[in-house]
Structure 1
Amino acid sequence: MLWPFGTTWRPVRQKRRSTVDLRWLSARTWTRRWYPQGIDLGLWHGRRTLAVSWFRQRLDGHHLASRVAFVDLDRSRHLDVLLAVEEDGVLQPARIHAGGLAWFDDRLFVAATGKGIWEFDLAGIRRVRGAEARRLAGAAGRGLRATALVAVRTRVHPIDIRCSYLGRVFDDDGTPLRRVLIGEYLKDDTGRIAEFSIPESDDDAFREESRFSPGIRRMQGAVRWGDRHFISQSDRMHPGVLWTGTRDALVRDRVPLPVGCEDLALDLDAKLLWSLGEHPWKRVVRGIPFASLGVDD
């Protein structure tokens, strides 16, 4: 299948057992140059689509670029869109960790750890070619990349916490709210999570609604449905931990998250909680049924 600009969709392997597991059919299953991080859902040309953010780094940890893979959940194929910043009329790669995503219509918010929340325009995606495509992918002078799709940053939203990740918020009845949870990954238990209303116009700013510290180390993602919070906690090369409940009474769920777990996303249509693992050879995008979590739908 071709996207309207002529870019080819690439296959993803999907397995359905007790969970829905998506795995990459390419070198991205093991590469140490690109790492998956954030996740959210939305509509892409009218189709239910999962968005997964990636950052590229040198082996010394220096950030080079970032992108989002849009996965068509019905056809198990994905399409990459590079993230870019325009400076003096020239596109530069978005050198951010891209630790979390929140997708509202044509507006994509990305957690830029330590640099606030960056907003990208999905309605104005461009196609670039040749050397520019390779440079925006952080691979100037290498590879045979002929073309690439690019989403350009429209705003930087300053936030007074670290912005390691962000996740969506839903009302009790499943209505999506124009709010996000923004949180901090810290190795100790002092990390904070704050809830913000997103700006409706260029004249508005993120408005903080509440803030709390759940006392959980290495938090990687958070979403809210009514009073119930879901928080992911990584544990190095061990399966991740999911915490659920009200913010004052979080309990450890018996269902494990992927090894090297990262961000979270709620899929109320399919009754799934999505997460993903970042470590090479163990990379998976996993949908966990609400029934396994004891969640009433």
Structure 2
Amino acid sequence: MLWPFGSTWRPVRQRSRDTVDLRWLSARTWTRRWYPQGIDVGEWRGRRTLAVSWFRQELSGEHLASRVTLIDLARSRHLDILLAVIDDDGELQPARIHAGGLAWFGDRLFAAATGRGIWEFDLSDIREVQGARAHRLAGARRRGGRGTALIAVRTRVHPIPLRCSYIGRVFDDRGTPLPRVLIGEHRTDESGRIGEFSIAEHVDDGFTEVNRFTPGIKRMQGAVRRGDHHFVSQSDRLHPGTLWSGRRDALTPDPVRLPVGCEDLALDLEAGLLWSLGEHPWRRVVRGIPLSRLGIASGTGDGAPSRRT
């Protein structure tokens, strides 16, 4: 079994003057079957790790499966974990969701299941499957095979009174992570809403809505918050994305552009980065933007963030 980061595939880590870029070195760069969507930062087996979610689809648009790629930020090694559900007959089935955003809290991984709430997966109970079952859970049509796959199983569906296109984490003004998330809606008009929810410590308890607002931004793809400062990503088809920044009632576009086909956002305060990613074939990149470029003091526990001029 590949454990914990045994894959020989790795993305190239490119550190330019302005950003930290990870680019795919395989068919992931151009495939039209798997699309990257969500992103967050956590810890896996004692190592700082970036999680990227993908959904698999037929060319017709039918969703077939989803997975999470864990990337060791120090070594750029990766590990794929398929997302699975248990059906009424006790059989494992692929999680056929868009996985448009991720929020990672210890062993609890939350994925946005567009129009179907927030799905929770248990990272403490990673299982190994082989052969035909592995191919089926990956959404492959072929029968048989000798492949091996790791899977995380859904533990709960959290109903949310929003479309649940994406989910992002919340930090206080000192950079301390809070048991809260922002959950928002991708809409082609300006009606998309963002709600802030607290997460109960006990797994059997659900989310509690704290507040809700409508930024008036089309095609929102992700949102995170530190203190009173919000970041919201906005896609623009085959053009670079726009990063909206500021208080929730006074968001303004930042001069720093996001990747083409931008998706979710994740705050990495330890590294002083805001992560995003692009989904379009041949333009796919996982990009870390230094918070200093955004005029925001980075780090944790260092007092309130300051806006630099």
Could you state the TM-score of these two structures normalised by the residue count of structure 1? 0.97
Counterpart of 1:3?
3
SS at match of 2:3: coil
Counterpart of 1:30?
30
Counterpart of 1:139?
140
Alpha-carbon distance between aligned partners in 2 of 1:119 and 1:245, rounded to the nearest angstrom: 30
Alpha-carbon distance between aligned partners in 2 of 1:74 and 1:234, rounded to the nearest angstrom: 29
Give 2:43's aligned amino acid. L
The Cα of 1:23 is off from its aligned counterpart by: 0.7
Alpha-carbon distance between aligned partners in 2 of 1:3 and 1:161, rounded to the nearest angstrom: 37
Q: Are residues 1:173 and 2:187 paired?
A: no
Alpha-carbon distance between aligned partners in 2 of 1:2 and 1:114, rounded to the nearest angstrom: 34
The Cα of 1:132 is off from its aligned counterpart by: 0.3
Counterpart of 2:303?
none
Counterpart of 2:278?
277
1:9/1:79 contact within 8 Å kept: no
Give per-residue Cα distances to partners, 1:87-114, cap 9 Å, x unaligned: 1221000000000000000000000000
The Cα of 1:187 is off from its aligned counterpart by: 0.1
Which stretch has the larger CA shift, 251-260 or 134-143?
134-143
Counterpart of 1:12?
11
Counterpart of 2:305?
none
Give per-residue Cα distances to partners, 1:220-256, cap 9 Å, x unaligned: 0000000000000000000000000000111100000
2:132/2:145 contact within 8 Å kept: no
1:131/1:140 contact within 8 Å kept: no
Runs of 4+ in 1 over 6 A off after TM superposition: none
Give 1:167's aligned amino acid. G
The Cα of 1:198 is off from its aligned counterpart by: 1.1
Give per-residue Cα distances to partners, 1:160-181, cap 9 Å, x unaligned: 1000000000000000000000
Give 1:11's aligned amino acid. R
Counterpart of 1:222?
223
1:53/1:99 contact within 8 Å kept: yes
The Cα of 1:2 is off from its aligned counterpart by: 4.4
Identity value in percent: 73
Counterpart of 1:120?
121
Task: For structure 2, list consecutive stretches of 5 or more residues without a partner in the other structure.
Answer: 299-309
1:221/1:231 contact within 8 Å kept: yes
Q: Are residues 1:207 and 2:208 paired?
A: yes
Alpha-carbon distance between aligned partners in 1 of 2:168 and 2:220, rounded to the nearest angstrom: 12
Q: 1:175 to 1:9 in 2, by over 3 A?
A: farther
Counterpart of 1:163?
164
Which stretch has the larger CA shift, 165-174 or 192-201?
192-201
Q: 1:145 to 1:182 in 2, by over 3 A?
A: farther
The Cα of 1:78 is off from its aligned counterpart by: 0.9
Alpha-carbon distance between aligned partners in 1 of 2:102 and 2:203, rounded to the nearest angstrom: 20
Task: For structure 1, list consecutive stretches of 5 or more residues without a partner in the other structure.
Answer: none
2:6/2:78 contact within 8 Å kept: no
CA RMSD of aligned residues (A): 1.4
Alpha-carbon distance between aligned partners in 2 of 1:256 and 1:173, rounded to the nearest angstrom: 26
Q: Are residues 1:85 and 2:85 paired?
A: yes
Q: 1:119 to 1:170 in 2, by over 3 A?
A: same
Give per-residue Cα distances to partners, 1:133-185, cap 9 Å, x unaligned: 00000003169561000000000000010000000000000000000000000
The Cα of 1:280 is off from its aligned counterpart by: 0.1
1:3/1:9 contact within 8 Å kept: no
Q: 1:83 to 1:2 in 2, by over 3 A?
A: closer
Give 1:74's aligned amino acid. A
Q: Are residues 1:57 and 2:57 paired?
A: yes
The Cα of 1:296 is off from its aligned counterpart by: 1.9
The Cα of 1:258 is off from its aligned counterpart by: 0.1
2:50/2:72 contact within 8 Å kept: yes
Give 1:104's aligned amino acid. F
Could you state the TM-score of these two structures normalised by the residue count of structure 2? 0.93
The Cα of 1:128 is off from its aligned counterpart by: 0.2
The Cα of 1:200 is off from its aligned counterpart by: 1.6
Give 2:292's aligned amino acid. A
Q: 1:16 to 1:77 in 2, by over 3 A?
A: same
Alpha-carbon distance between aligned partners in 1 of 2:141 and 2:127, rounded to the nearest angstrom: 19
SS at match of 1:292: helix
